[in-house]
Amino acid sequence: MLPSIIKAVSGTIIILASFSMAQAQTASDHSSQKLYWAHIAYGITSLGPGNTLGLGIDINRHIFSLRSSATDPAPFKDTWDVAFLYGRSIWLGDFYAAGSTGVGIVAGEQYSQFIGGTAEGSMDPMISFPVEGHLSKPLSRNFAVGLSAFFNVNTNQPFGGVSAAIRVGGLN
């Protein structure tokens, strides 16, 4: 299982690097902007309904963000993480796309299976390696809607999810 997780993370990093090199060679009116946001997202995770909450800043397509995700509709319930991420962004027409990876702490409930199952008890907090992606459409200068996806790689309870997201801030 660990080799397949390493392959998935490596593939994600290669894809993100490919997008950033291609975009770095083009001129765009979005290239020198500083964007900032707070987001909230609810959707489905590998362990049931869940959420992500986050803050981020994009400076010349370099993203720095702090986010938490949980496998429960309430923050910091069930299995959860808090992560600091770095990533890259691009504009695809009117859509903003971003991918990030970083380091985090994961804790909460441990399950017998990757998808669903019965909780086996709580796990001690540990270092994790989160990956996330966003695709959003700004509806105004301060409001956007979109999709958010995340995956958390760790040795006890890997988990991931896809959700509908709302972003508020200086977005365009």
Three-state DSSP at 85 gives: strand
Digit-coded pLDDT (tens) for 57-76: 999 999 999 999 998 888 77
pTM of the model: 0.74
User: Distance between CA atoms of 47 and 37, rounded to whole angstroms?
Assistant: 27
What CATH number is attached to the domain comprising 37?
2.40.160.20
Q: Which residues make Cβ contacts (< 8 Å) with residue 93, sequence separation at least 6?
A: none
Residue 102 pLDDT exceeds 50: yes
Enclosing domain of residue 151: 2-170
User: Distance between CA atoms of 118 and 133, rounded to whole angstroms?
Assistant: 28
Q: Identify the band that residue 2 occupies on the pLDDT scale cut at 50, 70 and 90.
A: low
Three-state DSSP at 26 gives: coil
Beta bridge partners of 48: 45
User: Distance between CA atoms of 65 and 80, rounded to whole angstroms?
Assistant: 17
Three-state DSSP at 138 gives: strand
User: Distance between CA atoms of 125 and 80, rounded to whole angstroms?
Assistant: 10
Q: How many domains does the chain have?
A: 1
CA distances to 28, 59, 73, 124, 125 from 117, in Å: 47, 41, 17, 19, 21
